[in-house]
């Protein structure tokens, strides 16, 4: 009986603590074109590209690659971070942009470098999504 009471007390404490915890505010939306960490997982490109970053509502993307990121953000908002379809659509969008031969808005972070970094990130996201969707058997 004492064990059951102790377990119930712990459950109630955890539930109460999580109910009182507030969700941290999202990072501010971006209104300017950025280029940071172009060759790492912490990449920021344009207004919409980069983990945890997004452009403000109604903002135009900085270039075609940034538009791919905006569309990916929208897809993930609707279908969730584990949506492999969203990640594949993003990779296809990058391929289409690359085929145009256009240059991006930034000389510091050219398309070739930014796309290679983002492709690696999407490949990792796809792998993690696949792992997360498999049922573990013990």
Q: Which two tokens stand for residue 21?
A: 């915890």
Residue tagged active-site, from 44, 47, 72, 87: 72
Tokens of 74: 């929208």
- Residue 61 near residue 47, CB atoms below 8 Å: yes
Q: Is 72 a catalytic residue?
A: yes
Q: How far apart are CA 70 and CA 42, in angstroms?
A: 17
Q: Residue 34: CB partners within 8 Å, gap ≥ 6? A: 44, 45, 46, 47, 50, 53
Q: What amino acid positions are annotated as catalytic residues?
A: 72
């Amino acid at each position: 009986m004492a064990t059951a009471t102790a377990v119930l007390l712990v459950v109630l404490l955890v539930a109460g603590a999580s109910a009182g915890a507030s969700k941290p505010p999202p990072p501010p939306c971006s209104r300017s074109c950025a280029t940071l960490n172009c060759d790492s997982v912490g990449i920021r490109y344009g207004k919409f590209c980069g983990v945890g970053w997004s452009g403000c509502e109604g903002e135009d993307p900085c270039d075609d690659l940034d538009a791919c990121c905006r569309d990916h953000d929208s897809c993930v908002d609707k279908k969730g971070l584990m949506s492999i379809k969203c990640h594949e659509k993003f990779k296809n969008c990058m391929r289409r942009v690359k085929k145009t031969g256009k240059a991006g808005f930034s000389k510091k972070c050219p398309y070739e470098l930014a796309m290679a970094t983002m492709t690696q990130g999407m490949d990792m996201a796809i792998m993690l999504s696949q792992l997360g969707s498999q049922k573990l058997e013990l």
